[in-house]
Amino acid sequence: MSKKLIELKNISKSFGNDTVIDDLDLYIRENEFVTLLGPSGCGKTTILRIIGGFESPDKGSVLFDGEDITKLPPNKRQVNTVFQKYALFSHMTVAENIAFGLKIRKKSDEYIKEKIRYALDLVNLAGFEDRSPSSLSGGQQQRIAIARAIVNEPKVLLLDEPLGALDLKLRQEMQYELIRLKNELGITFIYVTHDQEEALTMSDTIVVMNRGYIQQIGTPESIYNEPINAFVADFIGESNILDGIMLKDRLVSIGGHTFECVDYDFEPNEPVDVVIRPEDVELSGNGIGEVTGKVTSVIFKGVHYEIQVMSSIGVNFLVQTTQYFGVDSVVGINVIPDNFQIMHKPKSEDEEILREEEENEN
């Protein structure tokens, strides 16, 4: 397993009376692609700026390879940042933009020329040296911004929502480009986004945040399949989040109907949150199932239909399926025990605030 490269210890940061990060601990390993994921205002960009040296924490320390760099200025850190607004110099050519940092460091002309060639090859823009940034597409400008960052040979590349200004198709292409670059360069990527698809596509590790707190850390698969609470379940993909009562081990009641599940170690008759992914709800056209329901809406999404079903137990189910069911169709609804995820209701004040915010967003 790779060694820890960056450690954030007891980090807190406020702007006026607004606490953005509260006593946060996080470590990032060498050569890891880590995504900080969460809604606007959750503190993810502030963390990135603290790592880059653009913000100072009110409390806590930042360690880089075991060395305390909390008070080190940005230009002394082995990190480079790529912003959503590419910040290219319009009066300079592509080559001059890429060379900017190297000239400040007083590298030789031959060294700079070789680095420009290497960087342009890496981002698949060889031959663009003399072009003006304004003549390039958004995706090409983003690649130049990345090239300018990587020629400085940082150990860590910080990316602050760098694909946010691109259209959907180009954004998807750039996701694969970033994965390729990370693998070829062998450096650590720390990526900030509120787009869960980007996080699931590119990351080795996802850090889900809300209101200055880390909600869950894990692989894309574990975050999606085993969310730790209702906020994570709702933010990572779509979910049916239902009120339930855990009658006993492996038996949960939803809307007065009893379902088998695989969860245990809850108190008898404990109120719980029940999470069911839309793709895990099975519909049958003959109306036979654990419960019945009526289709209230159907939307074609290209690879599947997204269907709303009002069930006979008074619970609305969101379903994703490749099978078509028309509006007003009577269907059977089934969910196998493994596909129920049972979660404790919030117990602390912080957890309750997060739950209320998630409910308000819905």
Where residue 303 sits, what CATH number does that domain have? 2.40.50.140
**The domain containing residue 15 runs over which residues?**
4-225
- Which DSSP category does 220 fall into? H
* Residue 87 backbone class (left: φ over 0; alpha: ψ -120 to 50; beta: rest): left
Note the pLDDT of residue 248: 97
| Average of per-residue pLDDT values in the chain | 91
230 falls within a domain = no
In what side-by-side order are the strands of the sheet with 341-344?
257-260, 251-254, 240-248, 270-276, 341-344
> Are residues 157 and 192 located together in one domain of the fold?
yes
| Confidence band, pLDDT 50/70/90 cuts, at residue 351 | low
Residue 255 corresponds to which tokens in the numbers above?
A: 């809307």
Note the pLDDT of residue 355: 53
Percent of the chain residues topping a pLDDT of 90: 75
Average pLDDT of the segment spanning 233-258: 95
Bridge partners for 271 per DSSP: 245
pTM of the model: 0.86
Res. 352: pLDDT tops 70: no
Note the pLDDT of residue 92: 94
> Are residues 148 and 34 located together in one domain of the fold?
yes
Res. 349: pLDDT tops 50: no
pLDDT digits (tens, 9 = 90+) for 198-209: 999 999 999 999
pLDDT digits (tens, 9 = 90+) for 152-198: 889 999 999 888 777 888 888 889 888 988 888 889 999 999 999 99
> Are residues 196 and 290 located together in one domain of the fold?
no
Helices (H), 17-159: 44-52, 94-104, 109-122, 138-150
Pair 329, 295: CB distance under 8 Å: yes
> Are residues 218 and 253 located together in one domain of the fold?
no
Res. 70: pLDDT tops 80: yes
Closest CA to 212 of 52, 3, 36: 36
Secondary structure (3-state) at 35 = strand
Res. 362: pLDDT tops 80: no
Secondary structure (3-state) at 141 = helix
Task: State the amino acid at position 355 in one-letter form.
Answer: R
233 falls within a domain = no
Pair 266, 309: CB distance under 8 Å: no
> Are residues 211 and 256 located together in one domain of the fold?
no
> Are residues 251 and 355 located together in one domain of the fold?
yes
Res. 1: pLDDT tops 80: no
| Helix/strand/coil (H/E/C) assignment for every residue in 66-85 | CEECCCCCHHHCCEEEEECC
As a 3-state breakdown, the chain gives helix, strand, coil percent values, each rounded to 5, of 30, 35, 35
Q: How many domains does the chain have?
A: 2
Average pLDDT of the segment spanning 233-261: 96
